[in-house]
Chains A and B, each alone.
Chain A
């Protein structure tokens, strides 16, 4: 199952 995407990339 997918983790919540943290959007920690640029």
Chain B
């Protein structure tokens, strides 16, 4: 564990708490992509299968449980409790275009051709693009509630913090994880447009609005 990874994980944790807070306080999941949330459930379940057979640390264990639990809870809230506030007609990104290529990539790029390793690779690739339905939705509506933008910012920053973590680990431990690094850089890249608007508008107290 190092400082950058801890910051990344805390940012990830914060993003989920902000998301749940948004849903609870506004009693609505307006502006949120159900598809993105469903992809995160798939990401966490396929990546954290090792919970059942490998012990890393208490920190690792608790965080994994939290990520699986909270993503399932979010999905439940969106699907049942606040279902009427979710508008499927604007959540139209075709996730087949994400899941299919990620599955193929995972079959080609993995550290070992075993079920758990291929699923791990799949989860890394899928995570890197899971935000696309959400960003696509944002693009369509052209605006977002401020709390939703805080959620997205925290979620985007999380993987960005992992980049210095990987550099640090390379120099201190000699650990290199090319699959995670390439996917993590791509994942962070997807947020650049969003970050630009977030830091120049929302952080200055303005509403998040995309230019028409």
Contacts and interface: CB of A to CB of B under 8 A. Distances in A.
Interface residues of B, number: 20
B190 interface: no
Interface residues of A, number: 9
B120 interface: yes
A7 B9 contact: no
Nearest to B50: A7
Contacts, number: 27
A2 B177 CA distance: 9
B111 A5 contact: yes
Given A10-B9, A10-B12, A5 B64 contact: no
A2 B56 CA distance: 20
Interface in A1-10: 2-10
B9 A6 contact: no
Contacts of A8: 56-57, 60
A7 to B, nearest CB: 6
Interface in B120-135: 120
A9 B5 contact: yes
B118 to A, nearest CB: 13
A9 B111 contact: no
A10 B63 contact: yes
Given A4-B111, A5-B111, A10 B64 contact: yes
A3 B111 contact: no
Contacts of B177: 5, 9
Contacts of A6: 56, 175
B174 A3 contact: yes
A2 B176 contact: yes
A8 B56 CA distance: 6
Given A8-B56, A9-B177, A10-B9, 6 more contacts: A6-B56, A7-B50, A8-B57, A8-B60, A9-B5, A9-B180
Q: What 8 A-B pairs are tightest by C-beta distance, nearest first?
A: A8-B56, A5-B111, A5-B177, A10-B63, A10-B9, A7-B120, A3-B175, A7-B50
Interface of A: 2-10
19 contacts: A3-B174, A3-B176, A5-B111, A5-B175, A5-B177, A6-B56, A7-B50, A7-B54, A8-B60, A9-B162, A9-B165, A9-B177, A9-B180, A10-B9, A10-B12, A10-B60, A10-B63, A10-B64, A10-B67
